[in-house]
A and B are shown apart, each in its own frame.
Chain A
Amino acid sequence: MKLLDKYNFSVKLLCLLMLFYVTITSAQPVLPQRAITVYASQKLNFGLFYDKSGYGGSISVDPQGTRTVTGGIAILPSYPGQPALFEIKLCQGRSITISYPLETTLTSTGGAEIIMKIGPTQKGGNGAIFATENNCNFITILRVGGKLIIPPNTNAGVFTGEFEIYFEQQ
């Protein structure tokens, strides 16, 4: 694959967890209007959930915004999840390759840690390629999900973390 005008950037996401409430917010990148523009608009939000038996499990939010749990994790519908939303504008080039690390670590104010697996995105998993309109005024909205691995006996608390996602213009 030939790389044209390779431009990598990272979007740092900030994760909050309040009583097992995970919400991912973003700091706005200040980017010059070049070939590609990406805004991290919406936080990845796992909603409110809890470990009903203390044996741990997982909770994931897919790009469609559906939450799925495994193990002893139970969700609270009053606080639904949301996928992360990215606004993408591409003025040059044909397509974009998405890449990201497998996981990132969220830490609570009390020092506890949980692992967040990044992805998949609406366009596929790590390494997925997708095309956008070459119109600078056309915005492609990309949905990104994630999965939290909750270890046994995780204490409730506010967890924070960051992850990087790369958009590579071809």
Chain B
Amino acid sequence: MFYNVFLFFCAITTSAQYKEINPTDYLTNYNEVLITVYVDGGYTFEANVLITPNNQIYLNTKAIFKTLEIKCISELNNLVGFIENEKNLYTINFEKKRITIGNKSINISNGILEEFGVKYIKASLLFEAFGLNFIFNPRSLTAKLEANFELPFIKQLRYKQARDNISLFLQEPIIIDTIIPRDYHLFKLGTLDWGLSSSQSINNTSDTNINIGFGTELLYGEANFSMNYKFENKFDIKNINYGWRWINNDHKFIKQANIGRISGPSYSFANGNIVGASINNSSNTVRKTSGSYMITDTTEPNWTVELYINDLLIDYTQADAAGLYVFKVPIVYGYTVIKLKFYGPLGEERTEERIKNTPYTFIQKKRLNYSLNTGIVQDSLSSRFAKINLNYGVSNSLSIAGGLEYLSSNLNQPFIPFTKVSYQPYSNLVLNFEYIYQTTLTGLLNFNLTKEIFVEVDYTKNMAENINQLGVLAVDISTPFSIKSFQGFTKLNFQTSKYPSFSYNQFNWILSSYIQKLKINLNSSANWASGNTLEMNSNLGLGYRMKNGIALTSSTNYNVNQNKFKNIDINLQIRILKINLEASYQGSLTSKYNSVSLRANYDLPFARAGISSSYNGSGLNFSERAQGSMAFNLDDGIVHTGKNSALGKGGLLLHPFLDLNGNSKLDKGERKILLSAIKIAGAKAVISKKDSIVRVFDLNAFVNYTIEFSANSLDNIAWRYKHKTYKILVDPNQYKRVFIPVISVGEISGMVYLGSRGQGRVNLQILDEKENIVVETLSEFDGYYSYLGLKPGKYTVRIDPEQLKILNYKALPKVHQVTIKVSEYGDIVDGLDFTLSKKAPKKPKE
């Protein structure tokens, strides 16, 4: 802890009408000391206090109240405000030497001091009046502050923390000083995806596959073309995928538009892709409601899974021994797309994105969202398809939807009307009903029984004549648990399908836990049809990760009916020299099937490559694959290569530069500078020492990203970011160039003297050419002052006239005129000294 102790050897007798001690006593008996004050909750602040020889402290009430954010206004010789709530008013009357708070009045005549214009009150009186108890420890020069009410300062910090958490959730800080909007282009390159794979088996069958994708910005939107072709098959136009997408959240009527292959749930089953167009007025931003629901799924053991809502990273978690992961997904307003991304423990990344259907669509109160899809189905009949969906927010917790779907090939019923109601009566309960005319009636209930226990009930009644299944009822209950040191997650699922003459029932129980580094997953299931035998089996998965990074997983399946283990699966993973090696054995205990496989994956800077070989009873198989991507920025002549898909993504090329003339443009004579760090939520930045460009890639297009710069990332003390926080909208298939101006600031310094001695606590003001106060600074205890951070320009430095007036002093000179020159490493102007002296008393008028 840094603290500063000094004696103030100055006998100033200003308007000392409250002075309780003579100057001599003051000089010898009181010390002004900077102490640290500790507040419950782990917060601290520093305060200047006066300490008496018997360790009593006097506090600058106005400054303390300002720090604690207690309302305190100076009115003549009074301080007025309120404590805890607006009804509890107080007045500190320095003239009458009384504190009045509510009906209480306290005499403070024995506990008030004034030093250089600042009024101090004895700590014990502050406790008596306001309940603020400063427990002073003279040994450590600290004090603990206890209050009998929640300090506004703590309350504000609590609110701020809560808001910060929300903004973290939404990936959006509260304060943004610069917004970089979209750059629109008629046509601009672009991104390229490529992939090649081949497999051969010993019986001479081979399979070669090529993927190629091309992304560009076209007609101000994102345009992607991709093709998947197998050499063994005939070329089919269906193998080409194409689409154009445009998003503008500021547009009133159309916020999103798509042309090409369109998706969306269709109630009339269309056997083929739909090529056409879709528009809607839903923004792709995330606005959370108060509820949530749970998703549980599986990936590979120990993998990290990221949850995205509308392309924004919301949460992440790690899968267990059997790859089970759980997310509590917040319900957000509007149409929602949920994506999951997967990252392996050995540095592997799988860019697979699973898009989940969200069960609910809530619309903000009195808002109408629409979506319109139309196109041609790529089937033998070239069926025509159209769908309109309207969704209205009756209240923030009740949304109703309705629409009509048309499919020309449904001769009996080409038009299918549908309606939907989503209702959230409580934050922990969500209900959803959907009726599709003469097809299905669905009811869904999501209920958070407690903070942890989640229940989902889903019922579907089939009304279509050609479906034999009458209905399905599914109930899910999931909860984390903790029994002493045994913690985990469990999920029960029961589903019954009703048919005219029988029911088919399924029961599934998942238990996931860990013992130290051993992860355990037990998945048991049973099913039975009316009159049929109950079929039961259980799957046990174990996973163990050693300190050297070797991961071992195994699983076995046990058939309860047959009282037999059916199969066993053992997998060993290790990373050596950036190569991920994997060996696995799969064996059946009920048949002669056995399989051994070896895989090696290597991530190159420009591609991901891998080979695999496996042997089972029927022969030997080999497989090879490689995939990568490229992104082009012709403005900078940069081609970025990567191992993940770049199609539909975007990137940023940040150019930090020393903006000497302050015009925010990189001009001739100005140079780029190398940063040591930047902070960007939900993305990774690479700082190039070669060209000082910061590259941020794998960003989702049409999404705002927030980038924060810290002054610590600059390697010169005189450099400052012109803007510290940027919100940048990512352009589709583009590496967007953004200039980050850094200015070089100047420093001024000098001394304040009172007579021949340096004087502390003098307020110095620095004014710009328009006589606006740029900054104020206090002189140190020895009279020295300095300020670093002035942009090039002309300034005036003066002592605060108000302070001079109160003290009845004058300064010589009155002001210093200063010019901060443009300089790469910052201009320094020193020697700006002031000398204070007492004003001569005015002569009385005769």
A joins B in a complex = yes
The answer on a CB contact under 8 Å between A53 and B557 is: no
Of A1-9, A95-103, A109-117, the stretch lying at the interface with chain B is: A109-117
The answer on a CB contact under 8 Å between B597 and A109 is: no
A10 within 8 A of B: no
The answer on a CB contact under 8 Å between A152 and B623 is: yes
The answer to whether residues A41 and B499 also contact, given A27-B466, A74-B300, A82-B504 and a CB cut-off of 8 A, is yes
- Interchain CA distance A113-B236 in the complex, whole Å: 12
- Interchain CA distance A85-B616 in the complex, whole Å: 31
Chain A contacts of B567 at CB under 8 A? 68
Across the two chains, which residue of chain A brings its CB closest to B322? A77
B20 within 8 A of A: no
State the Cβ distance, B521 to closest chain A Cβ, in Å: 9
A65 within 8 A of B: yes
The answer on a CB contact under 8 Å between B525 and A55 is: no
A104 within 8 A of B: no
The answer on a CB contact under 8 Å between A28 and B466 is: yes
The answer to whether residues A110 and B238 also contact, given A27-B466, A55-B199 and a CB cut-off of 8 A, is yes
Of B214-222, B529-537, B801-809, the stretch lying at the interface with chain A is: B529-537
The answer on a CB contact under 8 Å between B298 and A75 is: yes
Chain A contacts of B355 at CB under 8 A? 19
The answer on a CB contact under 8 Å between A85 and B324 is: no
Tell me the residues in window 117-170 of chain A with beta carbons closer than 8 Å to chain B beta carbons: 139, 141, 143, 151-153, 155-156, 160
Tell me the residues in window 187-213 of chain B with beta carbons closer than 8 Å to chain A beta carbons: 195, 197, 199, 207, 209, 211
Chain B contacts of A33 at CB under 8 A? none
State the Cβ distance, B469 to closest chain A Cβ, in Å: 7
The answer on a CB contact under 8 Å between A110 and B504 is: no
The answer on a CB contact under 8 Å between A66 and B559 is: yes
State the Cβ distance, A134 to closest chain B Cβ, in Å: 17
Chain A contacts of B582 at CB under 8 A? 53
B501 within 8 A of A: yes
The answer on a CB contact under 8 Å between A153 and B354 is: no
- Interchain CA distance A48-B582 in the complex, whole Å: 24
Q: CB-defined interface of B255-280 with A at 8 Å, one 1/0 digit per residue?
A: 00000000000000001110000000
- Interchain CA distance A7-B295 in the complex, whole Å: 48
The answer on a CB contact under 8 Å between A65 and B238 is: no
Across the two chains, which residue of chain B brings its CB closest to A50? B352
A40 within 8 A of B: yes
Chain A contacts of B468 at CB under 8 A? 26, 28, 39-41
- Interchain CA distance A19-B353 in the complex, whole Å: 10
The answer on a CB contact under 8 Å between A65 and B273 is: no
The answer on a CB contact under 8 Å between B238 and A111 is: yes
The answer on a CB contact under 8 Å between A109 and B272 is: yes
Chain B contacts of A153 at CB under 8 A? 195, 197, 209, 211, 625
The answer to whether residues A70 and B595 also contact, given A110-B241, A141-B531 and a CB cut-off of 8 A, is yes
The answer on a CB contact under 8 Å between A64 and B537 is: yes
Chain B contacts of A40 at CB under 8 A? 468
Tell me the residues in window 317-339 of chain B with beta carbons closer than 8 Å to chain A beta carbons: 322-324
The answer to whether residues A66 and B566 also contact, given A42-B497, A87-B499, A139-B502 and a CB cut-off of 8 A, is yes
The answer on a CB contact under 8 Å between B623 and A141 is: no
Chain A contacts of B354 at CB under 8 A? 19
Chain B contacts of A42 at CB under 8 A? 469, 497, 499, 504
Chain A contacts of B510 at CB under 8 A? 77
The answer on a CB contact under 8 Å between B623 and A77 is: no
B763 within 8 A of A: no
Tell me the residues in window 571-608 of chain B with beta carbons closer than 8 Å to chain A beta carbons: 582, 586, 588, 593, 595, 597, 599, 601
- Interchain CA distance A50-B228 in the complex, whole Å: 18
B691 within 8 A of A: no
Q: CB-defined interface of B347-389 with A at 8 Å, one 1/0 digit per residue?
A: 0001010110000000000000000000000100000000000
- Interchain CA distance A76-B588 in the complex, whole Å: 20
The answer on a CB contact under 8 Å between B610 and A53 is: yes
User: Which residue of B525, B531, B586, B610 is within 8 Å of A70 (Cβ)?
Assistant: B586
Chain A contacts of B588 at CB under 8 A? 68
User: Which residue of A76, A80, A113 is within 8 Å of B297 (Cβ)?
Assistant: A76
The answer on a CB contact under 8 Å between B529 and A78 is: no
The answer on a CB contact under 8 Å between A74 and B323 is: yes
User: Which residue of B273, B497, B523 is within 8 Å of A77 (Cβ)?
Assistant: B523
Chain B contacts of A85 at CB under 8 A? 499, 504, 529
Tell me the residues in window 34-78 of chain A with beta carbons closer than 8 Å to chain B beta carbons: 39-42, 48, 50, 52-56, 64-66, 68, 70-71, 74-78
Interface residues on chain A, size class: 35 or more
The answer on a CB contact under 8 Å between B535 and A155 is: no
The answer on a CB contact under 8 Å between A77 and B298 is: yes
- Interchain CA distance A112-B236 in the complex, whole Å: 10
- Interchain CA distance A80-B510 in the complex, whole Å: 12
State the Cβ distance, B802 to closest chain A Cβ, in Å: 69
State the Cβ distance, A123 to closest chain B Cβ, in Å: 12
Across the two chains, which residue of chain A brings its CB closest to B532? A141
- Interchain CA distance A25-B323 in the complex, whole Å: 29
The answer on a CB contact under 8 Å between B469 and A109 is: no
- Interchain CA distance A80-B495 in the complex, whole Å: 11
Chain A contacts of B209 at CB under 8 A? 152-153
The answer on a CB contact under 8 Å between A151 and B532 is: no
- Interchain CA distance A56-B207 in the complex, whole Å: 12
State the Cβ distance, B236 to closest chain A Cβ, in Å: 5
- Interchain CA distance A141-B403 in the complex, whole Å: 39
- Interchain CA distance A156-B299 in the complex, whole Å: 15
B440 within 8 A of A: no
Chain A contacts of B133 at CB under 8 A? none
Tell me the residues in window 269-314 of chain B with beta carbons closer than 8 Å to chain A beta carbons: 271-273, 295-300
- Interchain CA distance A160-B322 in the complex, whole Å: 29
Across the two chains, which residue of chain A brings its CB closest to B323? A74
The answer on a CB contact under 8 Å between B300 and A52 is: yes
- Interchain CA distance A161-B78 in the complex, whole Å: 87
B239 within 8 A of A: yes
User: Which residue of A55, A64, A66, A80 is within 8 Å of B599 (Cβ)?
Assistant: A55
The answer on a CB contact under 8 Å between A141 and B502 is: yes
B527 within 8 A of A: yes
Q: Which of A40, A71, A111 has the most C-beta atoms of chain B within 10 angstroms of its own C-beta?
A: A111
Across the two chains, which residue of chain A brings its CB closest to B612? A55
- Interchain CA distance A20-B288 in the complex, whole Å: 31
B506 within 8 A of A: yes
Chain A contacts of B529 at CB under 8 A? 85, 141, 143
State the Cβ distance, A143 to closest chain B Cβ, in Å: 8
B508 within 8 A of A: yes
The answer to whether residues A65 and B595 also contact, given A42-B469, A152-B197 and a CB cut-off of 8 A, is no
The answer on a CB contact under 8 Å between B207 and A151 is: yes
The answer on a CB contact under 8 Å between B499 and A66 is: no
B614 within 8 A of A: yes
B561 within 8 A of A: yes
Chain B contacts of A109 at CB under 8 A? 238, 271-273, 378
Across the two chains, which residue of chain B brings its CB closest to A89? B501
State the Cβ distance, A59 to closest chain B Cβ, in Å: 12
The answer on a CB contact under 8 Å between A152 and B238 is: no
The answer on a CB contact under 8 Å between A82 and B506 is: yes
- Interchain CA distance A55-B598 in the complex, whole Å: 11
Tell me the residues in window 516-532 of chain B with beta carbons closer than 8 Å to chain A beta carbons: 523, 525, 527, 529-532
The answer to whether residues A155 and B228 also contact, given A53-B599, A56-B623, A80-B525 and a CB cut-off of 8 A, is yes
State the Cβ distance, A21 to closest chain B Cβ, in Å: 11
State the Cβ distance, B751 to closest chain A Cβ, in Å: 71
Across the two chains, which residue of chain A brings its CB closest to B241? A110
Chain B contacts of A70 at CB under 8 A? 586, 593, 595, 616
Task: Give the 4 A-B CB pairs with smallest separation, nearest first.
Answer: A111-B238, A64-B535, A153-B197, A152-B199
Q: Please give 14 more A-B residue pairs, beta carbons under 8 A apart, in addition to A54-B625, A55-B597, A153-B209.
A: A19-B354, A41-B504, A42-B504, A54-B610, A55-B623, A66-B557, A68-B567, A77-B298, A78-B297, A78-B493, A87-B501, A109-B271, A109-B272, A111-B236
A-B contact pairs, 24 of them (CB 8 A): A39-B468, A42-B499, A48-B297, A53-B601, A64-B537, A70-B593, A74-B323, A77-B322, A77-B523, A78-B298, A80-B525, A85-B504, A109-B238, A109-B273, A111-B236, A112-B228, A113-B233, A139-B502, A141-B530, A141-B532, A152-B199, A153-B209, A156-B352, A160-B271
